[in-house]
Structures are given as C-alpha cells and as structure tokens.
Structure 1
Amino acid sequence: MLITMLTTGTRGDTQPYIALGLALQKRGHRVRIAASESFRDFVKHYGLEYAPIRGDITKIAQSELAQDAGKADNPLKFYKSLKKDEFKRLFLDMQQDMYQACLGADAVVYHPGATLGYFAAQERHIPSILATPFPMTPTSAYPNLLFYNRPSFGKLYNKLTHRIFEMGFWMISGDHVKQFWKEQFGTAPRPFSSPFPRQRTATHPTLISLSPSVFPRPDDWSEHIHCDGYWFLEPDKSYSPPQELQDFLNAGKPPIYVGFGSISGQAQASETTAIVIEALKRNGQRGIIAKGWGGMERPDELDKDILFIDGAPHDWLFPRMAAVVHHGGAGTTAEGLRSGVPSLIIPFTNDQFAWGQRVHELGVGPKAIPRKQLTTENLTQAMKYTQINEVKAKAQVLGSRIRSERGAEASAQAVIDCIEAYQKKGK
C-alpha cells in the first residue's frame, strides 16, 4: 500500500513522521511524505518518497511575519496572527501541494495543521488518520497545552480548553481548505466542518507522538486514540562528530547544552548569549552552545570551556551532556527527556510554556524561565538546580522508561489496523 503523510512546520514537526514512516516501510508499505522544500534531502535520506510543499520553512520562520506570530503570548493572539493576508497565499499553495501528494494513496496520515488530508481522503474514499506530535484530543484530565501553565478551573474547563484549541486550528486551516476546494471542484467539501471530532473511530483514528510516562493516558479517551510513546528516529550509526566537538567532549567533564533550535531571536541574540555564558561561568560548568536560526551569537572572544556549534543530532549529543537547556519545542523536549539528563526550558511562545511546566512537575528539571524573564541570576540558579542528585536520578529513570517504549512501531500498527478496518467496512 501507498501511505501519504502530510506534515507542516519545522524540522521538529517533520521528524516524528519520518520515524512513523520508517516503521510502516519496515512492514512492507510505500510511504510518501509531503513536507516543506527545506526537508527534501532529510526525507530522501531515509529512503522515503518525498512530495514537495512550497515554501522554505527556514526562510519563513525567520521572516518578520513569523516573528510576529512567535511573539504571541496567548492563544487568541497566535491564531489571529496566522490569519493575516500575507499568510493566505502561502497557505493556499500548500493545499494544492498537499492534495497532489494524496493522489494514488491508499490512506492519508495528516498533521493537525494539514486538515486538507481528511477531505482528500474522503473524496478519494480512503481512510484518514490524524497524527499529531502533541496531545490535543479533548480530556478532562488536564488542560490543553496552550492553557496548561494558566490557572485551571476543573474538569469541564479542561475539556473546554481542548475544544477551543481544536477550533483554533480549524479556524486557521478551514478557510484555506474551502477556498482550494472551491477552485478545484466548484464547491466546498460536504459536510464541511472540523474533522478533528471525527477522528476517533476504528476507521478514522488519532495517533499521538507522546510518552504515557510524560502524560498518562486519560481514562476518558476512546480506544481509537493511540498514545503509546514518542516517534523517535533510530540513532544514525554513521554519524561522526566534527573533530572539534569530539575533542571538546574528551577534554573535561560533561558540559551543559544550550540551544533554541528554530526559534529566531536575532534582536536579543547578543544579550541571550551573554547571559548564558555568564551563568555557565558562575556554575563552573563547561557549555556547548548551538547557534540555531539566530537565537545565539558567537562573541569575538570565547573561553576554552565554551564551544559553539552549528548543530549535532540530539539523540547523539544530549546523553553526553550534564543537562540540556532549550526552548521547549515538543520534539526537543522529547529528545531531552529520552536522553536521561535533566532539562531546563526557556519558553518563548505557545506550547513551550506547557512543556516547561511539565518537565518541572515530573521532577526532571527546574521551573521554566520564560525568555522575557531570563536574567543571569535566575539562569545561574536554574542551572545549579539541574545538578541536584535527586533531579539527575529522576531524569535517568524517566529516560529509561521512554527509551523502552516503541511508539512509532505501535502507531504504525494502528495505521495498518485502520486501513484493514476501512477495507472490511467497505466490503
């Protein structure tokens, strides 16, 4: 069978789908991944079919428009920022590319930002599977991630926050799906409404890349909501670190990693870098700083205990660290937890605040420090917290549990079960 997977977003949003795709490929199926042009080589490297989605996500993420969206400090501002006219043409082009990627497929697996996948599957009479890199199915057990670090008002409130999140995602993508569909077929899909509530059956399930050791599976979820572990890529055994990086690791005790991934904070890069370096010095810690997309800036003069790198595979680098300090993206958080070392999260926007709070609740890191509140003093104290023996021990235990899970394999089986159920229902 040919299974098309529609992704959106940065590398952290795309990588879990490659892991899921590889698990399906091992079962003998063809997998086609539709992703930003930025990730063409990334997808093809793993032997999966690639379908382009117009737009270089690296450039988009660094644009002024994306920067404004990233500064949103509440869900309403974030949703409104993505409704701007400048985004509309880009989103419409994406619908066209996603639809093309679905042609000839036997099933469509789609990111919640790619809701066209549901309607393309309906139109072609094939099953659709919602696959999300974060929990979003309504539950009374805990609030949605965009509300997680805010005051909670009980079970009904918790469930309402998830529904608001679903509505927000649909508000962003629904108009673009509708416009594309009218241009393609002369009318909107029928019925035309949010697909998320429909993805909770045997033939239309939801898969979540999430460890039940991080967020336990809620009792009020349908059996067709699958949450069995993160979708991790297997370590690349062919990876060989640059000599400078290997020499630095060999030269002393494990350093603390600091990096903010695709977060582009160029206006604050010098300030952030100075705070990080001073906090490392005050703790007597060596540090590895990843430059990312503009969040950090290498100074002219650098102490021998600090190494700047363009990047390195997190699954290789993180287990070699004393702690990892990052922005709290879902993918980076998962890798940090899997590594078995303490995590310190400096959230910039959106669900990063939730992951920061959850890390502290699990006892594997200090309280998160929002970027707007970052100072040398509070970063110094937070780094010191990561080296408490109890915190390090809890991080090791959680990491071991996460590494024992086989989320991608379990979710791949759920995809196959869904297709078989759909075909049986059709007969």
Structure 2
Amino acid sequence: MKVSVSTAGSRGDFEPYVALAQGLIDAGHQVTFAAPRDARRLVAGTDAEFIEMDLEVREVLRSEEGQRWLAGGNVEAYLEGITKMLSEARHTIGSSVLASAVDADVLVTGVNTEDYALAVSQARGTPVVLGHLTPWLLTDEFPQPLTPQVVPDGLSAEEYHLRSHHLAEEVYWQGKRDDINGFRASLGLPPAPGAALTWTVELGLPTLQAFSEAVVPRPHDWGPSNRITGFWRLPSEVRRRVGEADLPGPLADWLADGPPPVFLGFGSMPVLDPPKLLDLIVRAAERTGLRLLVGVGWSDLSELTGELPGTVRLVGAVDHDRLFPRCRAVVHHGGAGTTAAGLTAGLPTWIYTVFSDQPFWGERVARLGVGGYSDFLDFDLEHLTGVLGRLVGADVRQRAEAIGERLRAEDGVGTAVRLIEEILG
C-alpha cells in the first residue's frame, strides 16, 4: 500500500506524523511525506520519500511578527496569524499535497493540510484519513481547545462548549476559505461548504485522534468514525538515525552527578527578557534546593551559561523520551507533544499557558491530579517555587507514575496503522 502523509506546522505538529510514517513503513507500506522544510531532517530518519513545502514554520514564528502572535495570548489574533502564514504558502502546500498523492492508495493528513487533502481525495477518488493531535472536533463535553476553558456566566456548559467550537471554526474558515476554494476550483471541484473540521463530521470521514483516552476520555457525542489511538511516539530508531538517540555527554554527566532535576521547558514560547528569566530560575533553585534543567526551546540564552550555578543547567533540543525518565517533574508551555512525553514518563506536570491549546492540556493535567496549570503571566519567583513544591510531593508523584504506566502500555502508532489498514480493507 502506498500512503501519502501530509502535514504543516512546527516540530510538535509534524513529529507524531513522522512516527506514524515509520510505523507504516515497518508494516510494509510505502510512504510519501509532504511537509515544510523544517521536517526534512527528521523525515530523513525514516525510509519515506520527502516532498518539501516551500515553508519554514520555525522561522516564521521566530520572526518579529510571529513572536507577536505567540506573545499576544489572543486566540483570534493567533488564528489570524497562522491562517496568514498558511495562506501565503497556499500554492506550495497545495502542490506538495498533490505531488505526494500521486498513485497513493490513501491520504493521511494533519489539521493544517486537511482541507487540501480532502479536495485531492474528492477529485481523485482516493480515501482520506484525518489525524488530530488535539481533539478539535465538535463536542458538548469540553470547549474548543483554542478557546477559554472556563464557562462564562449565563451559559450552560454544553451550550458554551458547542458555541466555542462553532466560533473557532468560523474564524479559521473565514481566513482560509478563498484559498481552499481556489485550490478546489483548480481541481474542477465546487466550493466547500465549510472547513474540513466541520465537513468531516457530515461526511463521516475516518479521523484518528492521536492521544490517549486516559488523558482525554472519549466524548459521548463522537461518531464511530472518530477513533482514539493513543499518543504517536517517535521510535528510538528514527532518533538514532538523525543523531538524537543519546543525551549530550556533558548533560549526561550533569544528570549523573546529583538527584533528578525538574525540567523547565519553554519550547516555542518567546522569552522576552532572558537574563531576568534565568535569574528567577537560579533563585528558585536556591530557595527549593532542587536542581533545575532549563530547555531553552527557540530562545537564545547561550551568552548567559557562564553565570549559572551547578544546580541550574541549560539544554537545547533534546529527546524528551530519553531525558524525562531521568527527571522528577516537568514544567513547560503545554504543547500536546511535550505534555504527552511528560505524562508518559510518569512525571508530575505544571503547564504555564500562553495561547493555543495549552490551557486545554493544562486542564487535562489538573483533572488527572498530576499537577496543574496557570497563565504564563503568573510566572514569578513566588509562584514558581510554590509550583515546584507541589510537584515534588509524594501524592502527585504516585498519581503521575500510575498514569505513565498506563500510557507506556499503549501503542498509539500501531493502533493507527491497523486502523488505516482496516479502512482500506
């Protein structure tokens, strides 16, 4: 079977699809992978054919404009910014999805490319399977993940939840409707009645939900075509091929030279005042007696490393699956992938949210009783030291270990591969 996989976004968006691609290849299938150039290095760790979109999401989000989207914390502004980025890249996204679909038996697509893949599916008669890393589809059980998670006064929970889904989809669709319908017209198709997110339910298309029911229980109002698989974790062999399998020697030595640290990761979140941030973290280490390992993400803190005590260390991009089992807790920005990695490692978790689906994952962590979440604006010395004290407590650690054991027993990629094979009969 030849499978076309397409997705767009930063590493947190495409890494799970690389894991799925390798799972399909291990099952004997041929994979063509269309994604922004950011993904080329990681896809090279598989035997998939790579088709590059002329788009580098990391550079866009690291630009001055992109940092404003990230720092603003405004959902509508963020959606408009992401939609603008995808709109400017519409021709390369469309052509790449088309190229990857040549002779394909099935199209597997992420949320940022699903409107294009759905059009190709309808034009060519090729089955399409949608993959969602976060539960985007309509439900009355929880709000749309990009919207506020607290029900406002005057509305029932169910009413607000449904309204939030419709509102987010409307904003998203208004920004991309012309691009998608232009692409559809080039394939001889009529305009779409709405975004694929909405249309998916009406068409009954199969959707693979790449998270665990232990973290997000299945909504009662989802149809049978929406299948929850478990998280899609990148296999160690792929990491080995791209040079990510081992922790850097100095980091491994530091980890071995004392008790497990608490990991603080900032991912793609902008750090506007690095010296102030590091000073705060150093003082938190002094006050709590904990060792703190700081994942700098996209921020450049290299000039500050000489000023750090032995209890605080900085680390760049590193394999969370290998690092987290050597930590005692995690504090991070709440991306779906980092949340999954921390929970799978059985670690107490605190999420400092800025935007996007981060509050949703923070709410999941709080419901599990393995930590909690708060706004990134609360991040100061008093708050951080309080959080660290909570995370190293025995009760939260025991609950986190139980969740981790359950998640490690799941095979999200294997389940997804079997479902794709079932769909094709």
Q: What is the CA distance between 1:231 and its match in structure 2?
A: 0.9
Cα contact 1:346–1:368 (8 A) shared by 2: yes
Are the counterparts in 1 of residues 354 and 376 from structure 2 also a CA contact under 8 Å?
yes
How many residues are matched? 415
CA contact (8 A) 1:72 1:350 kept: no
3-state secondary structure, aligned to 1:280: helix
Match of 1:423 in 2: none
Picking from 167, 174, 182, the partner of 1:179 is 182
- Name the SS for the 2:212 alignment partner: coil
2:94 is matched by which residue type in structure 1?
Q
Q: 1:380 aligns with which of 385, 394, 418?
A: 385
Aligned residue runs from structure 1 range 307-386, under 5 A:
307-365=313-371, 367-386=372-391
Indicate the residue corresponding to 2:311 in structure 1.
305
Instruction: Evaluate the alpha carbon distance shift between residue 221 and residue 87 of structure 1 in structure 2; reply closer, same or farther with a 3 A threshold.
Output: closer
- Cα displacement string for residues 38-87 of structure 1 (whole angstroms, at most 9, x for unaligned residues): 21121021222211111222211201221122134343222233455x76
Which of 277, 285, 289 is 1:280 aligned to?
A: 285
Instruction: Tell me how far apart the structure 2 counterparts of residues 419 and 163 of structure 1 sit (CA, whole Å).
Output: 31
1:170-249 equivalent positions in 2, closer than 5 A: 170-182=173-185, 184-185=186-187, 189-200=190-201, 204-236=205-237, 238=240, 239-249=245-255
2:128 alignment counterpart: 128
Structure 1 residue ranges without an equivalent (≥5): 421-427
Equivalent in the alignment of 2:106: 107
Q: Give the whole-Å Cα distance in 1 for the aligned partners of 2:141 and 2:347.
A: 27
TM-score under structure 1 normalisation? Answer: 0.91
Confirm or deny: 8 A CA contact 1:138 1:160 kept in the other structure.
Answer: no
Name the TM-score, length of structure 2 as normaliser. Answer: 0.91
Secondary structure at 1:121's aligned position in 2? Answer: helix
Amino acid of the structure 2 residue aligned with 1:414: L
Write out aligned runs for 1:42-61 (5 A): 42-61=42-61
Matched, 1:141 2:147: no
Higher mean Cα deviation, 198-207 or 238-247? 198-207
Deviation at 1:398, TM superposition (A): 0.5
Q: After superposition, what is the alpha-carbon deviation per residue over 1:84-126, rounded to whole angstroms, capped at 9, x for unaligned?
A: 5x76433343223222222222211111111101001111111
Deviation for aligned residue 1:296: 4.9
Q: Distance in 2 between matches of 1:25 and 1:78?
A: 35
- Name the residue aligned to 2:407: 402
1:181 CA displacement: 4.0
Q: Secondary structure at the match of 1:145?
A: coil
Structure 2 portions without partners, runs of 5+:
none
Where does residue 290 of structure 1 map in the other structure? 295
- The letter of the residue matching 1:166 is E
User: After alignment, is 294-303 or 50-59 more displaced?
Assistant: 294-303
* Distance (Å, rounded) in 2 between the aligned partners of 1:369 and 1:201: 36
CA RMSD of aligned residues (A): 2.2
Q: Report the CA distance shift for 1:401/1:168 in structure 2 as closer, same or farther (over 3 A).
A: farther
What SS class does the counterpart of residue 308 from structure 2 fall into? Answer: coil
Deviation at 1:189, TM superposition (A): 3.6
State which drifts further: 136-145 or 154-163.
154-163
CA shift, 1:198, in A, is 3.8
The match for 2:96 is 97
